[in-house]
Amino acid sequence: MAKFLILHGPNLNLLGQREPEHYGQVTLAEIDQRLADLAAARGHHTEHLQSNSETVLVERIQEAPRQDVSFILINPAAFTHTSVAIRDALAAVAIPFIEVHLSNVHAREAFRRQSYFSDLAVGVVVGFGRRSYEMALEAAIDHVTQGTA
């Protein structure tokens, strides 16, 4: 059994009410439950954290090696475009990760095309709403169990 850490950045606690034209109607609790169920169906386990704080996300990533996390899925949200600190934490722990976005960040404002994460990530899934997370988890499980993304 592998452990997958699912990290959600700022304002994703507001999913369901927040800009539904970009992020849909789904709530974060529904996304997390679906990911937990998908992982369990394949014999794996997920842990979930949403934070509006860069510090909390950095500290959780630093703890991940001691907690036997095999893989990280992260939607850094607005921190995607700003956070060298979260990028450096992921590089420091050297746990493979996939960057996830609900919306197609390439079809929005120009500043959203800049990511501090994509070049370190195993892969990036953008633009499929809740399915972005599900596709990322499927790929992450394959990566851990078969060594392929």
139 lies in the site for ligand DQA, by CB under 6 A: no
Contact 130, 30 (CB under 8 A): yes
103 lies in the site for ligand DQA, by CB under 6 A: yes
In the complex, the smallest distance separating the C-beta of residue 94 from ligand DQA, rounded to whole angstroms, is 23
In the complex, the smallest distance separating the C-beta of residue 147 from ligand DQA, rounded to whole angstroms, is 28
Q: Between residue 32 and residue 91, which ones bind ligand DQA under the rule CB under 6 A?
A: 75, 77-78, 80
Q: What contacts 24+ positions apart, CB below 8 Å, involve 35-42?
A: 35/4, 35/6, 35/73, 35/133, 35/134, 35/137, 38/134, 38/137, 38/138, 39/4, 39/137, 39/141, 42/141
Question: Out of 101, 116, 133, 143, which one is annotated catalytic?
Answer: 101
93 lies in the site for ligand DQA, by CB under 6 A: no
102 lies in the site for ligand DQA, by CB under 6 A: yes
Q: Which one-letter amino acid corresponds to residue 106?
A: H
Binding site for ligand DQA (CB under 6 A): 11, 75, 77-78, 80, 101-103, 105, 112
